[in-house]
Amino acid sequence: MKTVLTYGTFDLLHVGHIRLLERAKALGDYLIVGLSTDEFNAVKHKSSFLPYEQRKEILEAVKYVDKVIPESTWDQKISDVKEHRVDVFVMGDDWTGEFDFLKMHCDVVYLKRTNDISTSILKGRLR
């Protein structure tokens, strides 16, 4: 079984998120999503429209997602890769190069983002 891991806040779930999760899942058999906790978002100077537990519940309902784990720190990625026996680490291409340090532990893939949709765009429209 090939395990894939990605991370994110997944606030205001939209088609860009779904497409990213679908393409991530296609790289393996089992997709784990590291979901940023509310506390970690505060450290990153971000805020979510929805609290962690609701974002987790929504992600767990997505057919491509097999497991959701909390992302609490920047530094947990290596331990998560080891603990969950991850074969492929996936992030959006706006992070290209940022996670290459994981290449000694697993494959690292940066996927192209969906054009013209993002949580920032949605939040702007809501304002």
106 CB-near residues (< 8 Å, 6+ apart): 5, 81, 86, 87, 88, 89
**Catalytic site residue from 46, 82, 103, 112:** 46
Catalytic residue among 2, 44, 103, 112: 44
User: For residues 79 and 84, what is the distance between their CA atoms, to the nearest angstrom?
Assistant: 8
Round to whole Å and give the CA distance between 119 and 98.
21
Active site residue 44: yes
Residue 77 is among the residues annotated as catalytic for this protein: no
- Give the Cα separation of 123 and 114 in Å (integer): 17
> Catalytic positions, please?
44, 46
